[in-house]
Structures are given as C-alpha cells and as structure tokens.
Amino acid sequence: MKTGNNSFLSSVFFEKDKRWLFIWVTALCTVGIWDVLFLNKPALGKVVTGFVNTFVIAALVVSFTLLIGWGLTIALHFLSRKKNKTGYIILTFFLNILRSIPQIVGVLFTYIAIAALITSGKATSGILIFPIMAVCMSLFIVNELVDLMRDRIDHFMKLDFYNAMRVCGIKESRIINFDILWKNSRIHIFNKLIAVFGSAIFLQCSVDFIISVGLSSEVNAVTLPVTLGSLLAKIDSKQDILAIGNTLTNPMYFPNLFFSHLLGVTVAFLIVFSLVCIYHISNGYAERHRL
Amino acid sequence: MSIHHFNIKVATPQRTIVAIDDFPLYDNHITFLFGESGIGKSLLSKALYGLLDTSDLTVTVNDKPYCDHLNSRWACDIRNNSFFVFQEPSSHLNPLMKISEQLNEGSLENIDDTEIMEYLWQHSTDSTLNTIREVYPKPYRPSGGEKQRILIAMAFKKLTAFMENRDADASSFFVFDEPTGSLDNRYRNLFLNLLFSKFCKRHFSAVIITHDYSIISEIYNSYRNLVPFVHFKELSRIDECKVSVDDFSADDYLNWLNKSQWTDPPVSQTADNRVLEVAPEFSIFSRNLCIYKDEARTVKAPLIINKGSVVYLKAPSGIGKTTLAKIVMGIYKSDSFKMNLCGRSYNEKSHESLWHKEIWGKKAGMVFQHADESLNLQATVKETFDALKERMTVDLNTQLNLLFKQNIIDLIINKKVAYLSGGQKQRLNLLRTFALNTQLLILDEPLNGLDFVNVKKVLDLLNKLRLGGTALLMISHNEEIFETLIDKNNIFYLSEK
C-alpha cells in the first residue's frame, strides 16, 4: 500500500508539472539561502522587495484576468444571444482594439498613465499602485482567457449537453457558469492562468527594464514599485551581467559570480528560471490532464 | 462442444476496471452477449482477442501476464483466422484509404467480396457498389449504416477465408460488437441471415455483443433449427468491478413480450385531453417532412397525443425523428411548422423565449438519445439534480430509488457521472427528466444501453407515468418492444414528402 509520503514523492517524480514546481521552489529556496549568506544586506533587501513585488503583481494580474475574463465571457455570451446586437458589437470592437495592440506596447502605455497618476499625486501608496498596474496589464492579456472560455462554451453548445439541460428548465446562467465553465473547463482555465502568470512576470520585467534603462530621467524619477525588471536595469546588476559575459573569455572568473556579482546573477536567474519553470509547469499540467 | 474458460482482469494503476472469474467461449457456436452498456462486454472481448494496450492497462488472462495469452496457440490462431467488428465503425475505418483497399486488407485480395456486398446492400448494380468502394471514409460519407455494413463485409470476407482454410482444427473467434447498432431491422435481418448461412456451411466461434433483444425473436422465428448452436448470455455486475456471465433466458424475454401491452386509460379524446398536436407537414433544413398514420405512407395525419397516452414515432434511421422532437422542444428552428401544446399554439415564428418561459421543464421535457452527451459527466449524481430542486416533488433519494437500488444510490450519490456505467448514466438521464413532472415527455431511445432487468423497470415506470396522465412521445429503434406495447392506432410514421 502506498503511504502519503510515497505517493507525494512518486507524483513529484512522475508528473512533470509537480516536478517542475518542486524544482522551482527548491531553486528559489536555495538561492534565498545563498543570498542570505553571501549578499550584502541592502542588496538583499532590494532583491526580496523586487521578488515579492513582481510576484504579487503577477498574482494580482492572474486574479484580475480571471475576474475580468469571466465577466466579459458571460457578457459576450448573453449579448450575442440578444436580438439587438449593439452591445455585443461594441464589446467585441473594444476587445478587438485591445487584441490589436501588442501586449508589451499596451503595458508601456499603461505605465505612462500610472506615471501620470503618481506625479499628479492621485496614486501614491503601493497598495493602490499594485492593483492599478495589475488591472492595466490584465486588460492586454484577458483576450487569451476570453477566447478560451468562449471556445469551451461553443464546444458544449454544439453537444446535446447544453440543450438537454435547457429543456429541463435549468437556467442558462447556471449551465454556462457552473456546468460548462466551472465543472468542465476549470482545468483549461487554470492552465491558461498559469501561462498568464508567466506572461505577467515577463511583461512586467520587460517593461520595467525598458523604463528603467531607456526612458527619460523625469519618468524614471517616478517611484514605481521596485520589481525584478527594474532591479536588472540598475547599474550594479548590469555590471554583474557583464561579468557573466566575461566568464566566457575568462572561465577562472566564474566562481566570483556567486560571491562578487550576486545581485545581478540572482535577479537574472530569478527571472529566467521562473519563466522556464512556469513554462514547464503549464506544459506538464496540460499533459497530465490531457488538454 | 468444447468450451474455453477464461479468467480475465483488466486494471489501470489506480483501479481494477473489470474482472471476471469465468468467461466461457463456446467452440464453433454463436454466443449473443447482452448486458448494460459500460459493464465491460467490449473490454473483455478485446482482452481475449489481444487488442488491449498494456502501456495503459495491466491485463491478466487465466492469472498469467497478457503476453503469455498473446503468445498462446489459441490467440495466434484467432488472430490469423478471425475478425473484430468494432462498435464505432468510424474509428475502425482508415479515412486515408479507399474502402476497396480496406476491404482487401489482411491478405484478403483473393477473396471475392461482390456477393457479400451485393447482399448487404441489396443492390446488384455495379455502379452503386463501385461508388462505395471508391470512397474515402470521411465523417459523413458513407453514412453510419453504410460504414457498419462495410465492417460487416470485411468480417464476412475473413469468414469466407476461414471457411476455405483446410485446417480443420483451426480456432476462430469472430467478434461483432454492436454490429447492428446503426442498422434498421431489415439490414439487421440481412446480417443475421448471412451469418447463419455461413455458419451452416462451416461452424465457427462468434460472439455478438448487442443490446437488441429482438434478435432473440428473429432467431426463434427464422433459425429455430440453429438454436442448439446459439447461446444467449448476459454480463451482470457482482460488485463495482467484478462481473459474471450468466445464461440469458430467451423464454423469459419472449414470454414477457407476449404478455406486455399498454392499454390506453379510458379518457375521452376531446380537445381538453389533448396535450400535443403537431400538424402533419413541416419542413426544416429545406427538407419537407410528413407524418403518416399508416405504414404505407398514404394517409397524412396530425400527430396527436392525449393525456395518459403514448405515441410511437417510426421512421428509418436519419429521416428526422429526433429532428421533429427537437422542433417540438424549440431547439431547432423549422422553416414551417405548427403545433399546439397544452392548449397554446406555436409555429416557426414563435420566439425561442416562449419555450424557455412556458415549455422547458414546465409543460414538456425531453430525454436525449445519448446519456453520455446529455449529462454533465464532471458533476456528481447529486449535483445533476441540484438545479431541479424547485421542480422536484419528491426528494432525491426517492427519485433515484425509482431505478436504482438503495445500496447503489449510497455508492454513487457523490460520484462523478463520468464514473458510472453506460446503463447507470442512461437511468440517470431518464430520472432527471422524469423529476420534472411535465405533461409531455419526449423519449429519444429511452432503452439505450440498458440490460433486460432495467428495460423492464424503465418500461414499468413509463407505464406508471402514463397512467398518471403524462403524455409520452416515444422514439426508438426497439421496434419489436414498442410495437408490442403500444396500440397500433398510436403508431405514426415519418417520411420525406
């Protein structure tokens, strides 16, 4: 008979998503312990703040994407079934505009709006800035989730499933929300949200890096929350990254990376390794559930 | 007569799917295997035939690893001499190969299939059969019935090859898994006739998996001399995964059939008692269809169902019986159509919201053909009824008790529907609609996937509902059962104009 520990270990060993989640968490813990031992306190504080901010914002993006996506899907479904299609056309037009803007460009624009809010003093606390950033980012990601959820609804509407429930007098809102989306699509939705989490980290880091490196000092002066992307753009990190390049021609310098250039190496590792792990977790989850 | 006895177990790493201590196989006899859908008839037959994939499943035959069974003399013999007709013809046929090429697969190019094809198609014109032969089996061409006949033709080619085999000791094991599922009675009888005529020439072993109990009557009426070579068996459940093969009494079925008849309750045929009236002519998808009162399709008549009466709608497969049911239920929008349901008229212009407000779950309910598709497989049995609580007049346990034993209810109440057997799903499908207590019930293939015990239970329950005043519209390919039960005046025929 399998014990609880054995089944946990076997699932970590045989199931790709759980294996990569385990690898990710283990790597984060290892890097954390290493940094506590060898990274100076001010830099360590920055890494921790950047890491927490990045992942909190990404988690908020996931939450808002789910809320907005679910709401939009339901709205589109019911508007599409009305005789008067005006509402449906307007909403589809709005979503298509969002779809036509590359995500990274969209997020850059929203940062400009956030910067304006901060400089005008309307948004000063991190508690307010985080959700605003997350909502803006989720607007440019939400189409992916809406498309998935609408595909699922369309699939079930083609089957007898949908009509068999309707002729029993079951409310359409229950069929869509509970029977189709919750009971039959939550695995698909969760898998998409894992990918959204990865996209949010990538977009955030990319845009923060671009803003911190390339924009004028006036915008830079705005106190946007420290994230892994903005940390990577800091001069110390850049030197650390250059040091990694240096090891290609000077391999003997390699051990110094883990002691003298820990800030840049840690930040780069956290971004890249997290994205790789999330990619594998998402793939493994899809494989495990045969999506 | 020699009998092979097999002990078979099929399991996944998580659970045993099916296990049987004694699966008998009668040498040179024909076995008809009944049993509720999903109980394991196909799986056990596939296990014996050597078709299971051991990368997903652990299979043991006679307590030995599957590879031992596959390497046994018997298994090697049957792989060379026999054929397995799969239940779903689409999954058997290769969409990238012409039918003619597929008919010749398995070194059968030297066997002439003209006679078999002509017989199964009842067509001797070369051009018609050549058209079929030159087709790539895509989803909608050939039709489901034609695909099934193509598979049967392949099996009979293999059978012909076996008959020409001079090795008198060679074993055979022909498996026909629901070979007549997509065929009407005429083609089913052609299949039986071909099967028994080959059997008379040289005996072979065959297992025919079916839910069509009317095959029994056909055999007793047309092939009585061959009854000693025929076995009727039923697979029944012992516990959650263990099953057993028991004798199925053909006499029980025939006696039950002779005694069964539903008589209409003594209600007047006034408009007050009229639940549904559908105008005889209607059209949908640019097809003009018509309802007739006589089998010869000469007398057009409106389809009328009164309180407490049952109407049986007959038509060949694919004509539009289900389509008519869906038009009545407002699921399909017709080009032209008129009906009166519980005193209110509806036509092709009536808005969908009318059905939603007045009919669905209130005046009428419909049981769909495929329980697998019409139930939420990811919901539990309890959740399936949660949305109907307001309409149910009895509690869930009482409702389930109508078709399930209490110990089974306790086992399945919190189980996902996906984990139920096909027969259990079908019973759940029926009970969900019965719970609505509507004035009209439309039942599309209500006996699908049920074993004989449950066929009787369901029919008793339908009779009770009918005697309670519910009007029933029946669509079913179980012609023998419903033609016996239902008064001839209540049988209508659907046909294209």
From B45-59, B100-114, B352-366, B437-451, the region with the lowest mean pLDDT: B100-114
Chain B residue numbers with beta carbons less than 8 Å from the beta carbon of A164 are 366, 368, 373-375, 429
pLDDT tier for residue A167 given thresholds of 50, 70 and 90: very high
What's the whole-number mean pLDDT along residues A6-15?
A: 75
| HSE-CB of B290 using CA atoms within 13 angstroms | 12
Residue A195 CA to residue A280 CA, distance in Å, equals 10
Residue with tokens 């306190």: A41
For chain B, the 3-state helix, strand and coil shares in percent, each to the nearest 5, are 40, 25, 40
| Half-sphere exposure for B239 (CA within 13 Å, toward CB) | 4
List, for residues A68-77, the tens digit of each pLDDT value.
999 999 999 9
CB of B215 within 8 A of CB of B188? yes
pLDDT over threshold 50, residue A2 = no
- If pLDDT is split at 50, 70 and 90, which confidence band does A1 have? very low
CA distances for A122 relative to A97, A119, A125, A217, B423, angstroms: 27, 8, 9, 21, 64
Average the pLDDT over A205-209 and give the result: 88
What pLDDT, on the 0 to 100 scale, is given for residue A221? 44
CA distance B235 to B244: 6
Evaluate if residue B328 carries a pLDDT over 70: yes
> B24: pLDDT confidence band, cut at 50, 70 and 90?
very high
Strands B16-26 vs B64-65: parallel, antiparallel or unpaired: unpaired
Of the candidate ranges A27-31, B182-186, B447-451, the one whose mean pLDDT is the lowest = B182-186
Instruction: Give the range among A270-284, B119-133, B275-289, B294-308 with minimum mean pLDDT.
Output: B119-133
Distance of CA A224 to the CA centre of its chain: 18
User: Whole-angstrom Cα distance, residue A174 to residue B379?
Assistant: 13
Across the interface, whether the CB atoms of B376 and A169 are under 8 A apart is answered no
Bond before B139 cis per omega within 30 degrees? no
Of the candidates B376, B391, B429, the beta carbon closest to that of A169 is on: B391
Contact B438, B362 (CB under 8 A): yes
Buried b (16+ CB within 10 A) or exposed e, B104-129: beeebeebebeebbebbbeeeeeeeb
pLDDT of residue B283: 94
Q: In angstroms, rounded to a whole number, what is the distance separating the alpha carbons of residues B34 and B43?
A: 14
Q: Residue A126 burial (CB < 10 Å; 0-12/13-18/19+)? A: middle
Whether A169 and B436 have beta carbons less than 8 Å apart is answered as yes
CA distance B406 to B418: 20
Q: Any chain B CB within 8 A of the CB of A42? A: no
Min Cα separation B376/chain A (Å): 7
What's the rounded mean pLDDT across residues A82-93? 92
User: Mean pLDDT over all residues of chain A?
Assistant: 88
- Residue B418 predicted with pLDDT over 70: yes
Q: Is A2 on the interface with B (CB under 8 A)?
A: no
Residues of B in contact with A291 (CB under 8 A): none
Residue B274 has phi, psi (to 5 degrees) of -75, 125
Interface touch A163/B361, C-beta < 8 Å: no
Residue B156 pLDDT class (50, 70, 90 cuts): very high
Q: Is B366's CB within 8 Å of A167's CB? A: yes
Q: How confident is the model at residue A31 (pLDDT cuts 50, 70, 90)?
A: very high
Residue of B nearest to A2 (CA): B14
Region B263-270 average pLDDT: 64
Which residues on A lie below 8 Å from B432 (Cβ)? 168
- Given the structure tokens 């309409």, which residue do they identify? B391
**Model pLDDT for residues B454-487, shown as the tens digit of each residue:** 999 999 999 999 999 999 999 998 889 999 999 9
What confidence category does residue A223 fall into, taking pLDDT thresholds of 50, 70 and 90? low
Taking contacts as CB-CB distances below 8 angstroms, the residues of chain B near A171 are 387
Of residues A163, A166, A179, nearest to B376 (C-beta): A179
Residue contact A168–B362, C-beta within 8 A: no
Q: Bigger pLDDT: B477 or B235?
A: B235
CB spacing of B329 vs A171 below 8 angstroms: no
pLDDT in tens, B384-413: 999 898 888 889 999 999 999 998 899 899
Q: What is the pLDDT of residue A89?
A: 96
Q: Give the Cα separation of B11 and A65 in Å (integer).
A: 41
Provide the residue type at A97 as one letter.
I
Query: Helices in B122-263 by DSSP H: which ranges?
Result: 126-133, 144-164, 185-201, 214-222, 250-259
Out of B127-141, B218-232, B326-340, B464-478, least confident range: B127-141
Chain B residues with CB-CB distance to A168 below 8 A: 360-361, 365, 387-388, 432-433, 436
A168 to chain B, any CB pair closer than 8 A? The answer is yes
Q: Which of B366, B368, B378 sits opposite A184 (nearest CB)?
A: B378
Q: Looking up tokens 């039918």, which residue turns up? A: B99
Does the distance separating the beta carbons of B387 and A160 come in below 8 Å?
no
Average of per-residue pLDDT across B433-460: 93
The model's confidence at residue B432, banded by pLDDT at 50, 70 and 90, is: very high
Residue B270 has pLDDT above 70, yes or no: no
Per-residue pLDDT, B89 = 79
- Are A170 and B375 in contact (CB < 8 Å)? no
Identify the CA nearest to A269 among candidates A43, A37, A39, A51. Answer: A51
* A204, pLDDT greater than 70: yes
Nearest by CB to B362, which of A169, A171, A184?
Answer: A169
CB contact under 8 A, B375 and A163: no
Q: What residue type is B438 in one-letter code? A: T
Which residue in B377, B387, B391 is closest to A174 by CB distance?
B387
Can you tell me which residue has the tokens 């997290």? A274
Query: How far is it, in rounded angstroms, from Cα A73 to Cα B40?
Result: 40
Q: Chain A partners of B418 at a C-beta cutoff of 8 Å?
A: none
Q: CATH: 3.90.1150.180, 1.10.3720.10, 2.40.30.170, 3.40.630.30. Which one for A17-29+41-288?
A: 1.10.3720.10
In tens, the pLDDT along B75-112 reads: 998 888 899 999 887 778 888 888 888 888 877 888 88
> What is the domain partition of chain A in residue ranges?
17-29+41-288
Nearest in space to A114 (alpha carbons), one of A132, A98, A102: A132
The answer, for A174 touching chain B at a CB cutoff of 8 Å, is yes
- Per-residue pLDDT, averaged over A245-263, amounts to 86
Query: Quick one: pLDDT at residue A125?
Result: 73
Per-residue exposure over B186-201, b if at least 16 CB sit within 10 Å of its own CB, e if not: ebbebbbebbbebbee
Helix (H) or strand (E) holding A195: helix A183-214
How confident is the model over A118-139, as pLDDT tens digits? 888 777 776 788 898 899 999 9
- Chain A nearest C-alpha distance from B203 (Å): 44
Mutate one of A168, A176, A181, A190 to test the B interface: name it (highest B CB count within 10 A): A168
Interface test with A, best of B327, B328, B376, B440 (most A CBs within 10 A): B376
Cβ distance of B361 and A174 shorter than 8 Å: no
Interatomic CA distance for residues B103 and A34, integer angstroms = 69
Does A167 touch chain B if contact means CB atoms closer than 8 Å?
A: yes
Residue B438 has pLDDT above 60, yes or no: yes
> Which of B374, B379, B387 has the CB atom closest to A160's CB atom?
B374
Which residues neighbour A237 within 8 Å (Cβ) at sequence distance 6 or greater?
A231, A263, A264, A267, A268
Give, in order, the Cα–Cα distances in Å from B318 to each of B140, B314, B496: 12, 11, 11
Token pair, residue B370, equals 């495929």
Mean of all residue pLDDT scores within chain B = 90
- End-to-end, the C-alpha distance of chain B in Å comes to 53
The gap between the terminal CA atoms of chain A, to the nearest Å, is 30
Shortest Cα–Cα distance, A286 to chain B (Å): 18
Which ipTM value was assigned to this complex? 0.82
**Predicted local distance difference test score (pLDDT) of residue A254:** 86
Q: Which of A178-187, B232-241, B260-269 has the highest mean pLDDT?
A: A178-187
- Look at residue A92 in the predicted model and tell me its pLDDT: 96
Q: What is the mean pLDDT of residues A66-93?
A: 94
Show the tokens assigned to B105: 């697969």
Domains and CATH numbers, chain B: 3-259 (3.40.50.300), 271-496 (3.40.50.300)
